[in-house]
């Protein structure tokens, strides 16, 4: 988990064009780790350490998915995952309610692209789940928010992993 924590800490700002690609690499690895720990936790001899590790991975995964879902350019799958988790519903429960398969939801949350028909159902579902939790769903952006999401490059600013370059030095010597 230390490797994933370091990778999460090194992610660029959500507005950075590289954010989603890099965060998806971390999320993909964390999904594999989560699956392995889930299997280990259901073994005949589970240990408290496995349960604690699984809990840590799930919490960090949820946090990173929430961060990615609110970033400009987030996927409908990321938004769905966060809406579903905030509503305290499983993929199967949400799929049943929306007339979709749980496998489709899992695939979308892992980065698959929905058909136009599936995307429409999912956007409606995200909006409905946002009402359940009392939250605005991550895909909603007010006009005021949109004007503040310009990239740092458009302003001529230079940042390194969230720090102004003038604060971290020039690393050339």
Distance (Å, whole) CA 79 – CA 67: 10
Q: Label residue 43 by pLDDT band (50, 70, 90).
A: confident
Q: Label residue 135 by pLDDT band (50, 70, 90).
A: low
- Residues 50 and 63 reside in one and the same domain: yes
Q: What range does the domain containing 48 cover?
A: 1-72
**Per residue in 63-97, pLDDT tens?**
999 999 999 989 999 999 999 999 999 999 999 98
Give the per-residue pLDDT at 141.
41
- Answer yes or no: is 79 within a domain: yes
Domain count, the chain: 2
Q: Residue 26 corresponds to which tokens in the numbers above?
A: 């971390």
- Residues 83 and 131 reside in one and the same domain: yes
Supply the mean pLDDT for the chain: 78
Q: What is the value of pTM for the model shown?
A: 0.68
Give the per-residue pLDDT at 172.
42
- Residues 3 and 58 reside in one and the same domain: yes
Query: Helix, strand, coil shares of the chain as percentages rounded to 5?
Result: 65, 0, 35
**Per residue in 45-64, pLDDT tens?**
768 899 999 999 999 999 99
């Amino acid at each position: 988990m230390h490797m994933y924590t370091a990778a999460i800490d090194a992610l660029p700002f959500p507005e950075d064009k590289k954010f989603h690609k890099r965060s998806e690499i971390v999320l993909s690895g964390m999904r594999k780790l989560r699956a392995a720990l889930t299997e280990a936790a259901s073994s005949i001899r589970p240990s408290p350490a496995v349960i604690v590790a699984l809990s840590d991975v799930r919490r960090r995964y949820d946090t990173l998915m929430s961060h990615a879902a609110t970033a400009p350019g987030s996927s409908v799958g990321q938004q769905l995952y966060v809406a579903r988790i905030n509503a305290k519903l499983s993929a199967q429960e949400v799929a049943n309610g929306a007339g979709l398969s749980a496998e489709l939801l899992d695939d979308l949350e892992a980065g698959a692209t929905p058909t136009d028909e599936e995307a429409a159902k999912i956007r409606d579902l995200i909006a409905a789940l946002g009402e359940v939790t009392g939250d605005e769903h991550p895909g909603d952006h007010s006009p005021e928010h949109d004007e503040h999401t310009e990239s740092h490059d458009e302003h001529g600013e230079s940042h390194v992993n969230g720090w102004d370059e003038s604060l971290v030095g020039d690393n050339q010597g």
